[in-house]
Amino acid sequence: MGAYILRRLLGAIPLLLGVATLIFFVLALAPGDPTAAYFSPNLPAEVLEQIRRNFGLDQPIYIRYFKWLGSFLTGNFGYSFAQSRPVADILLEALPNTLILAGVSLALVFLVGVISGVVQAVRQYSLLDGALSVITLFFYSMPSFWLALMLMLIFSLKAHEWGWPIALPPTGITSVDYEFLSLGERIRDRVVHLILPVTTLTLALAAGVARYTRGQMLEVVRQDYIRTARAKGLPERQVILRHALRNSLIPVVTLLGLYLPFLFSGAVFIEVIFAWPGMGRIIVDAIFMRDYPLVMATSFLFAVMVVLGNLIADVLYAVVDPRIRYD
């Protein structure tokens, strides 16, 4: 197993190098210039030229590429143009926020998805199955940004207007008076701010897991060993949970890796709408500001997380399925 993980990690290196190269050349070949932000009609052309030289933009593209790659690989992500501070600092602030949002959502996505899928499969063709199928397909077809707006409208803005007992905060990660709260209140404040973004991501993504789990369960339930388990008189509950569920969860684990890109894509919208100071919001802001160093580092970090997530999913797959041996 150790050798396999090592091999996969080594295999990820060219992949990530490729991604980094792709990012660099997409940005380098794009029209527009980072110095455009400094442009003003009063600025003499020589000064602009000097700025370009200071940024190293006068050099040919391959030299810029290798210089950039060299410093990038040694962990020097450079300075953000827009925020005038090291990119690494900005990312270190944002990363935990995104990981909290993505982690909690991912856990809930699989919990909700698997439960719904199992219930549907056990009661196939029942009213409940039909209802859940329609509901999951409905959420599956829904753009996450619209769902976010609607949840915000109903459970935060309208709830406030209608005087519901609990009106969730519409945006942000903490309340304004967070600094003055006690520890317990702080935790509560954090959780309350998490509810809407996490609910949106969960609803948007759990549908896919539910559909997949249902299909897997239906396949497994037809197997001979399930009939054997029933024939030897095991209670239905045990047949479903011990024999069927555990085996149908194996392929669901691989979904974990496949879902990370969706999760991060979804997180971009969620973070923008709910003003969640995570990486998705940073990258959108950075793209609009043409803050190239920040864009490069953030998108690279996204790619790293996706590759790592895929690796973890593959390793988990081997752990849960003893038939699979990576040697």
Which residues would be at the binding site for other proteins (CB under 8 A)? 14-16, 18-19, 22-23, 26-27, 30-32, 137-138, 140-146, 149-150, 152-153, 157-158, 161, 261, 264-265, 268-269, 272-273, 283-284, 287-288, 290, 295, 298-299, 302-303, 306-307, 310
Return the SS3 of 80. coil
Q: How far is the CB of 34 from other proteins (least distance, A)?
A: 11
Euclidean distance between CA atoms 174 and 288, whole angstroms = 25
Contact 317, 324 (CB under 8 A): yes
Query: Could you give the CA distance from residue 132 to residue 289 in angstroms, rounded to a whole number?
Result: 43
Closer residue to other proteins in complex, CB, 208/243:
208
Neighbours of 94 (CB within 10 A): 21
Closest CB 157 distance from other proteins, rounded Å: 4
Residues 6+ apart with CB under 8 A from 263: 102, 105, 106, 109, 201, 205
DSSP 154: I
**Given the complex with other proteins, which of 87 and 268 has the nearer CB atom?**
268
CB of 18 to other proteins, least distance (A): 5
Please identify, using beta-carbon distances, which residue of 110 and 259 lies nearer to other proteins.
259
The smaller minimum CB distance to other proteins, of residues 240 and 253, is found at 253
**Burial (CB count within 10 angstroms: exposed 0-12, middle 13-18, buried 19+), residue 311:** middle
* Cα(326)–Cα(219) distance, integer angstroms: 25
Q: How far is the CB of 135 from other proteins (least distance, A)?
A: 11
From first CA to last CA, the distance across the chain in angstroms is 7
Bridge partners, residue 38, by sequence: none
Nearer to other proteins, 35 or 181 (CB): 35
Shortest Å distance, C-beta 309 to other proteins: 10
Q: Kindly state the smallest distance separating residue 178's Cβ from other proteins, in Å.
A: 24
Nearer to other proteins, 161 or 224 (CB): 161
